[in-house]
Amino acid sequence: MLRDYLAVARDALSAQKEIYQVKEQRLRLAQQEYRQLHDAWKDKSTSQTSLNSRSSSSSKYDPDILKAEISTAKSRVNKLKRDLACMKQELQFKEQGFETLKEMT
């Protein structure tokens, strides 16, 4: 019975590790997006002509919209970091529990 439980626990742990890896990838993508937006903001803020030009039809370069997108991206990165830290701790505890049970068999 304990062996069956260990097999199920091992599968669940493996699935959770895969989810953790996916979240790590999402964090990397969110960080990349944040850096790109931040770089775009730096490029626009150093170029006075682009900041003073409101005639552009592309709202992508609107400083207020760009600031809002940067803020949203930063919040997303921070949330993903917190989620990942919690999940990492949870995984460590589950792995320790699994190893303890494995030693009992």
Q: What is the mean predicted confidence (pLDDT) over 84-97?
A: 95
Measured between its terminal Cα atoms, the distance across the chain in Å is 10
Please state, in angstroms and as integers, the Cα–Cα distance from residue 13 to each residue in 65, 85, 86, 105, following that order. 42, 16, 15, 18
User: Helix, strand or coil for residue 70?
Assistant: helix
User: Helix, strand or coil for residue 57?
Assistant: coil
> What's the pLDDT tens digit per position in 6-65?
999 999 999 999 999 999 999 999 999 999 998 988 887 776 444 454 444 455 568 888
